[in-house]
A and B are shown apart, each in its own frame.
Chain A
Amino acid sequence: MRYAMLIIGEEGDWSALSPADVDAEMARIYAWLEKWSAKIDEGGAELDSVKTAKTIRGGVVTDGPFIEAKEVVGGIIFLHTDTIEEAAAIAAEWPGVESGRTTIEVRPTVIR
């Protein structure tokens, strides 16, 4: 089964980090990506800041995200696992989840 990991957090958190802390966090993320590379499917992406988003609602285009929330989707990664529990266990190792800075929503994808 293919599962989507929505990576959710507060955007300000990253801009508050020092360059050295950003590097260290990126190193942890790359280590996670390498560790789970056999389980990661193509198609994931890191999304730019919600400040750069445009929302289309009923034909009207506005600047900004679809919902004003403290926590926003900052990226998406697709996993290939047998069960959602296995996907959730892998997601729980994403850097920053344990400390509570990042929240992950794992969702099954629909195969058409």
Chain B
Amino acid sequence: MKYAVLIMNTPLAATLSADEYSAWNGEIFAWYDKYTANGKLADPGNQLDDVSKAKTIRGTTVTDGPFIEAKEVVGGYSVLEADTIDEAVEVAKTWPGVDRGLITLEVRPIVEQPAM
């Protein structure tokens, strides 16, 4: 089964110094290397650029900015391969900074559509 991990930055992440941020980035790169190598990561996905660069399309109107103003916003997306959601959660818990409250993660099953 594939599970999506929505990666949300918390306000705490914005309080890091440049050095702390750079060290944290190193941990994140190491995490992706490790879980790519051991096959738990089906797709590393992407980091999304800042919400200030988003465009939202609602009805026939395009506006600058995200669809919802929130303290925590989706900042990235990855896909895990696991047998159960609990196994996916165990892997997700090791994402750097989750234990320190820098990041909140939402794990969701992916729906497999029949071939077109």
Contact of B8 (CB < 8 Å), options: A46, A61, A66, A107: A66
- 4 smallest CB-CB distances across A and B, nearest first, come from A48-B109, A108-B49, A109-B46, A110-B47
A residues at B contact (CB < 8 Å): 2, 4, 6, 8, 30, 33-34, 43, 45-48, 50, 52-59, 61, 65-67, 69, 71, 73, 76, 78, 84-85, 87-88, 91-92, 94, 97-100, 103-110, 112
Contact of A61 (CB < 8 Å), options: B60, B70, B93: B93
A48-B111, A109-B46, A110-B46 are known contacts. Are A57 and B55 too (CB-CB below 8 A)? Answer: no
Say whether A107 contacts B4, CB under 8 Å.
no
Residues in B with CB closer than 8 Å to A34 are 116
Once A and B bind, how many residue pairs between them come within 8 Å at the CB atom?
Answer: 141
Contact size range, B: 35 or more
The minimal Cβ–Cβ distance linking B93 to chain A, given in whole angstroms, is: 6
CB of B51 within 8 Å of the partner chain:
yes
Say whether B57 contacts A47, CB under 8 Å.
no
Chain B residue nearest to A101 in the complex (CB) = B59
Say whether B106 contacts A98, CB under 8 Å.
no
Say whether B104 contacts A55, CB under 8 Å.
yes
Say whether B59 contacts A56, CB under 8 Å.
no
User: Which of B70, B89, B106 lies at the interface centre, i.e. has the most chain A CB atoms within 10 A of its CB?
Assistant: B106
Say whether A67 contacts B72, CB under 8 Å.
yes
Residues in A with CB closer than 8 Å to B72 are 66-67
Chain A residue nearest to B106 in the complex (CB) = A66
Say whether B108 contacts A84, CB under 8 Å.
no
Report how far A73 CA is from B43 CA in the complex, Å. 19
Contact with A along B61-78 (1 / 0, CB 8 A): 010001110101010010
- A sample of 20 inter-chain contacts (CB < 8 A) reads A4-B77, A8-B67, A46-B113, A47-B4, A52-B85, A56-B92, A56-B95, A56-B104, A56-B106, A61-B93, A69-B70, A76-B77, A85-B55, A97-B59, A98-B60, A99-B59, A104-B67, A105-B67, A108-B53, A109-B49
